[in-house]
Structure 1
Amino acid sequence: MGYKAKFINKIVCLLIISWSALMLLAALLSMYRDYAYATILAKNEAVVSVKKDLAYRKWIASHGGIYVPITKRTPPNPYLSHIKNRDVNTSASQQLTLMNPAYSLSQMMKDYSELYGTKGHITSTILMNPKNKPDAWEEEALKQIEKTQEPIYTKTEINGEEHFRYIQPLKTEQSCLKCHAFQGYKVGDIRGGVSVSIPMKWYYNEAFKTIVLNIGIIIIVYLIGLGVILYGRKKAKEIVEKKVKDYEQHIFSFVNIIEKRDSYTAGHTQRVAKYSVLIAKEMGFNDEKVDDLYRACMLHDIGKISTPDSILLKPGKLNNLEYEIIKEHVVVSYELLNSVDIYKDIAEIVRHHHEHFDGGGYPQGLKGDQIPILSQIMTVADAFDAMTTNRIYKARKSVVKAIEELNELASKQFNAQVAKAASVALKDVIIEHNITQLPKSKIEKERFVYFYKDQITGIYNKEYLDFVLAYNSSDEFNMKHLYIVYLHNFSQYNTTHGWVNGDELLSKVANKLDSINTNDLIFRIYGDDFVILSEKEFDIESHISELEEILAGSNISISYKKFDIEQEDITSTEELEKLF
Structure 2
Amino acid sequence: MGYRVGLINRIVYIIIAVWTLIMFIGGGVSVYNNYKYADSLAVNEAKVSIQKDLAYRSWVASHGGVYVPITKKTPPNLYLSHIKNRDVQTNDGQHLTLMNPAYTLSQMMHDYAKLYGTKGHITSLILLNPKNKPDDWERKSLQEIDITKKPVLTKTDINGEKYIRYINPLITKQSCLKCHAFQGYKVGDIRGAVSVSIPLRGYYAEVFYNSIWNIFATLVIYFIGLFAILYGKKQAKKVLENKIKNYEQHIYSLVNMIEKRDSYTAGHTRRVATYSVLIAQEMGFNDEKSEDLYRAAMLHDIGKISTPDSILLKPGKLTELEFSIIKEHVVVSYELLKEVDIYGEIAEIVRNHHEHYDGSGYPRGLKGDEIPIMSQIMTVADAFDAMTTNRIYKARKEIPIALKELQDLASKQFNSEVVKAASKALVNVHIDEKTSSQLPKTKLEQERFAYFYRDQITGLYNRDYLGFVLAYNYTDEFSYENIYVLFLNNFNQYNKKYGWAEGDKTLKNVAKKLEKFSHEALVFRIYGDDFIILSKEIIKMDEIEREVAEALLDTGIKMAYKYFNIKDSSIVNIHDIESLI
Short-chain TM bin: 0.5 to 0.7
1:476–1:509 CA distance, 2 compared to 1 (3 A): same
Report what 1:394 is aligned to.
Answer: 394
* Mapped partners of 1:388, 1:304: distance in 2: 21
Report what 1:507 is aligned to.
Answer: 508
Contact 1:439 1:448 in 2 (8 A): no
Shift of 1:407: 0.5
* Mapped partners of 1:363, 1:553: distance in 2: 63
* Mapped partners of 2:501, 2:267: distance in 1: 45
**Are residue 303 (structure 1) and residue 299 (structure 2) matched?**
no
1:549–1:416 CA distance, 2 compared to 1 (3 A): same
Report what 1:186 is aligned to.
Answer: none
For residues 108-163 of structure 1, what are the alpha-carbon distances to aligned partners after superposition, in whole Å with 9 as ceiling and x for unaligned? Answer: xxxxxxxxxxxxxxxxxxxxxxxxxxxxxxxxxxxxxxxxxxxxxxxxxxxxxxxx
Shift of 1:244: 6.1
Cα RMSD, aligned residues only: 3.2
Report what 1:128 is aligned to.
Answer: none
**Are residue 351 (structure 1) and residue 351 (structure 2) matched?**
yes
Report what 1:319 is aligned to.
Answer: 319
Report what 1:181 is aligned to.
Answer: none
1:442–1:486 CA distance, 2 compared to 1 (3 A): same
Report what 2:164 is aligned to.
Answer: none
Report what 1:264 is aligned to.
Answer: 264
1:437–1:250 CA distance, 2 compared to 1 (3 A): farther
**Are residue 568 (structure 1) and residue 577 (structure 2) matched?**
no
For residues 285-312 of structure 1, what are the alpha-carbon distances to aligned partners after superposition, in whole Å with 9 as ceiling and x for unaligned? Answer: 3444333222211111111222233322
* Mapped partners of 2:244, 2:283: distance in 1: 28
Report what 1:214 is aligned to.
Answer: none
Alignment of 1:365-444 (within 5 A): 365-439=365-439, 441=441, 443=443
SS in 2 for 1:410: coil
* Mapped partners of 2:545, 2:563: distance in 1: 13
* Mapped partners of 1:578, 1:367: distance in 2: 51
* Mapped partners of 1:252, 1:283: distance in 2: 26
* Mapped partners of 2:526, 2:380: distance in 1: 40
* Mapped partners of 1:11, 1:528: distance in 2: 66
Alignment of 1:477-492 (within 5 A): 477-488=478-489, 490-492=491-493
* Mapped partners of 2:430, 2:539: distance in 1: 43
For residues 251-303 of structure 1, what are the alpha-carbon distances to aligned partners after superposition, in whole Å with 9 as ceiling and x for unaligned? Answer: 31320341343223443222212221222233333444333222211111111
Structure-2-length-normalised TM-score: 0.55
Report what 1:547 is aligned to.
Answer: 548
Residue 249 of structure 1 aligns with an amino acid whose one-letter code is Q
Report what 1:533 is aligned to.
Answer: 534
**Are residue 8 (structure 1) and residue 4 (structure 2) matched?**
yes
Shift of 1:459: 1.2
For residues 518-576 of structure 1, what are the alpha-carbon distances to aligned partners after superposition, in whole Å with 9 as ceiling and x for unaligned? Answer: 42221111222110112222342564465355446656454321111122232322332
SS in 1 for 2:537: coil
Shift of 1:344: 1.5
For residues 441-471 of structure 1, what are the alpha-carbon distances to aligned partners after superposition, in whole Å with 9 as ceiling and x for unaligned? Answer: 4647634532322121111111222232234
Report what 1:52 is aligned to.
Answer: none
Contact 2:247 2:342 in 1 (8 A): no
Of the two, which has the highest radius of gyration? 1
* Mapped partners of 1:332, 1:575: distance in 2: 45
Alignment of 1:76-475 (within 5 A): 236-242=236-242, 245-246=245-246, 248-439=248-439, 441=441, 443=443, 446-447=446-447, 449-450=449-450, 451-475=452-476
Which segments of 5 or more consecutive residues in structure 1 lack a partner in the other structure? 13-232
Contact 2:485 2:533 in 1 (8 A): yes
SS in 1 for 2:539: coil
SS in 2 for 1:479: coil
Contact 1:264 1:439 in 2 (8 A): no
For residues 41-97 of structure 1, what are the alpha-carbon distances to aligned partners after superposition, in whole Å with 9 as ceiling and x for unaligned? Answer: xxxxxxxxxxxxxxxxxxxxxxxxxxxxxxxxxxxxxxxxxxxxxxxxxxxxxxxxx
Residue 259 of structure 1 aligns with an amino acid whose one-letter code is E
1:336–1:457 CA distance, 2 compared to 1 (3 A): same
Shift of 1:440: 7.3
* Mapped partners of 1:381, 1:299: distance in 2: 14
Shift of 1:338: 0.9
Contact 1:8 1:236 in 2 (8 A): no
Structure-1-length-normalised TM-score: 0.55
Shift of 1:373: 2.0
Contact 1:480 1:565 in 2 (8 A): yes
For residues 355-402 of structure 1, what are the alpha-carbon distances to aligned partners after superposition, in whole Å with 9 as ceiling and x for unaligned? Answer: 222232222233333322211110001111122223334332222221
Shift of 1:241: 4.9
May I ask how many residue pairs the two structures share in their alignment? 357
Which one is further off, 514-523 or 547-556?
A: 547-556
* Mapped partners of 1:250, 1:10: distance in 2: 18
SS in 2 for 1:485: strand
Aligned-pair identity (%) = 60
1:456–1:6 CA distance, 2 compared to 1 (3 A): farther
* Mapped partners of 1:272, 1:514: distance in 2: 39
* Mapped partners of 1:300, 1:338: distance in 2: 13
SS in 1 for 2:562: strand
